[in-house]
Amino acid sequence: MRKGVTIWEPSNVYDSAILGEGVSVGAFAEIGPNVKIGDRTRVGKGCFIPEGVTVQEDCFIAPHVCFTNDLYPPSGKENWKPTLVKKGASIGANATIICGVTIGEHAFVAAGAVVTKDVPDGEMCMGVPALVKGERKHA
């Protein structure tokens, strides 16, 4: 059962994905098997969130954000790494998240960034590869 979840069609949300209360998912998005999305998190148009990714509550995942789960694809799970996005984090449009990282609480990833390392709580990062640039200044 998914309580108060809004999914725009067409999108592909696997049955085993667990979506919290008040989650929204944009059109053309795919959320893979066993993914967990916390309460009130919003997933934008066209995002890709594969198995191995966990997004906590109150996050904002902008359109076209692309997560991964395999460091050296295709490895048949040998090199799969889990990815965690902690509560209140915001990930900008078209960012790419290399698997195995943790994006901290209320951290901010700028649009178009390629995240290859952990982002500390409350910090913001940008660029390719993404570099931490200091405190997140907004909300």
Residues 25-44 that bind a copy of itself (CB under 8 A): 26-28, 30, 42, 44
d(CA 95, CA 111): 5
Binding of a copy of itself at residue 45 (CB under 8 A)?
yes
Per-residue contact string for residues 86-115; x = within reach of a copy of itself by CB under 8 A:
----x-xxx-x-x---------x--xx-x-
Report yes or no: 59 and 41 within 8 Å, Cβ to Cβ: yes
Between 1 and 78, name the residue whose CB sits nearer to a copy of itself: 78
Bridge-based pairing state of the strands 131-135 and 123-126:
antiparallel
d(CA 119, CA 23): 23
Structure-derived torsion over alpha carbons of residues 5, 59, 30, 113, reported in degrees to the nearest 10: 160
Please give the Cα distance from 90 to 101 (Å, whole number).
15
Residue 118 makes contact with a copy of itself by CB under 8 A: no
Q: Does 66 bind a copy of itself (CB under 8 A)?
A: yes
Residue nearer to a copy of itself on the CB measure, 1 or 139:
139
Alpha-carbon gap, residue 121 to 93, rounded angstroms: 20
Sites of contact with a copy of itself (CB under 8 A): 8, 10, 12, 26-28, 30, 42, 44-46, 48, 50, 60, 62-64, 66-68, 71-75, 79, 90, 92-94, 96, 98, 108, 111-112, 114, 127-129, 137-139
